Structure 1
Amino acid sequence: MVNGGSGWRMRRIVLGLAGTVAAVVLLFSYRTSTAGPSRGPVGEAPPGIVTPLGPAAPDAGTSPGAGSASRGGTAGPVTANGTVEDNGYGPVQVQVTISNGRIVEVTAVALPEDGHSRRINSGAVPRLRREVLAAQSAQVDTISGATLTSEAYARSVQAALDAAHFGGGA
């Protein structure tokens, strides 16, 4: 009977150790989020205005909205970064340039870099860029097969337009 009780304790110890090892392995293999500025350098830039609002750029004592880039405004060219958006596979961030009340350029600053994402983005990102330029807003259609990228791209564009105080809309 002594051996029977000792064997049961030994099995409990072995099962406990096996459970602990399994939990540690799962913990270290868990993929955490890749979004946000704490991820490290991947080409991400801080959101907000990048270039001054033209020759009449506000000085340090003026509010950021003083030189609006909205339609019909007379402010010079303004470039703004959108927010870094996680599409589930990595960061998506765009930079928007507005001149004479129109969106004149949209550039991807950060995109997921794995092979599958590169294939999807190689077709989707140029289409999204064209759609933003045509619509003059972030209100663009989602691209089939690139839904998560389309949504993250549009959110980043909208954040850049908001930072530039662009009224948007067709």
Structure 2
Amino acid sequence: MHALKRKSPLRRMVLAGAATVSGMVLLLSMKPHSSPGIAAAAPAPSSSAGVSAGSGGSTGSSGSSSSSGSSGSSGSSSGGSATTGTRTVTGDSVETRYGPVQVRITVTNGKLTDVTAVAYPQDSPRDQEINSYAVPQLNREALAAQSANIDVVSGATYTSQGYQQSLQSALDSVKG
């Protein structure tokens, strides 16, 4: 009898092993998802705010949303009233798991006309990679929504939550 006959257990083991190896090779050859168009269009981070960003680590979503809170750095403003003229307000600095997030908004005649993240985690290369696509997307969504009621960017959950909180504090400063 031959060792690799049709119903022999050795044949099944060889085929199972070959299938497992093939599956692992295919799995390991996959590349992670990235958006090169958005990453290339990301603006350089503003260093004129004088706020040091980040405490290392990535800004990815790992399930729990611990330590997202506001840390009393009150916003600054300039300009006229909340409904007429132009007013620029910087929201509270919100401490996230990977570092502070702070947003500056410009409101013209009661309409949100500009949103800029002045501080966000960018200490590690992973933070820079994540936030190079997340921050511009959050800026666009905030302008489109005209509020802090925006979607969280997948993969940048902590930055998104801090961004929403800082944006809401800036919007509250304009209203009140």
TM-score class, shorter: 0.5 to 0.7
Where does the alignment leave 5 or more consecutive residues of structure 1 unmatched? 1-39, 54-66
Deviation at 1:98, TM superposition (A): 0.2
Q: Which amino acid aligns with 2:151?
A: D
Q: Which amino acid aligns with 1:47?
A: S
- In 1, are the aligned partners of 2:51 and 2:119 still within 8 Å (CA)? no
Q: Deviations over 1:19-59 (max 9, x none)?
A: xxxxxxxxxxxxxxxxxxxxx9427xx53242122xxxxxx
Runs of 4+ in structure 1 off by over 4 angstroms are none
Q: Deviations over 1:75-128 (max 9, x none)?
A: 210010111011211110010000011100001111112221111110000000
Residue 164 of structure 1: SS of its match in structure 2?
A: helix
Q: Distance in 2 between matches of 1:110 and 1:41?
A: 6
Residue 94 of structure 1: SS of its match in structure 2?
A: strand
For the pair 1:156 / 2:161, whether they are aligned, the reply is no
Instruction: Name the residue aligned to 1:112.
Output: 121
Q: Distance in 1 between matches of 2:138 and 2:103?
A: 11
Change (3 A) 1:140 1:108: same
Q: CA RMSD in A?
A: 1.8
- The alignment-based identity, stated in percent, is 47
Q: Distance in 2 between matches of 1:142 and 1:107?
A: 16
Q: Which amino acid aligns with 2:155?
A: G
Instruction: Name the residue aligned to 1:37.
Output: none
Instruction: Name the residue aligned to 2:103.
Output: 94
Name whichever structure is richer in helix by fraction: 1
Q: Which amino acid aligns with 2:95?
A: D
Residue 91 of structure 1: SS of its match in structure 2?
A: strand
Q: Which amino acid aligns with 1:129?
A: N
Q: Which amino acid aligns with 2:78?
A: T
Q: Distance in 2 between matches of 1:106 and 1:87?
A: 19
Q: Distance in 1 between matches of 2:174 and 2:128?
A: 29
The match for 1:51 among 74, 78, 89 is 78
Q: Deviations over 1:110-156 (max 9, x none)?
A: 11122211111100000000000000000001111111111000000
- In 2, are the aligned partners of 1:48 and 1:164 still within 8 Å (CA)? no
Alignment length (residue pairs): 107
Residue 143 of structure 2: SS of its match in structure 1?
A: helix
Question: Please, what TM-score do these two structures have when normalized by structure 1?
Answer: 0.59
Q: Distance in 2 between matches of 1:130 and 1:41?
A: 23
Change (3 A) 1:41 1:101: closer
Instruction: Name the residue aligned to 1:76.
Output: 85
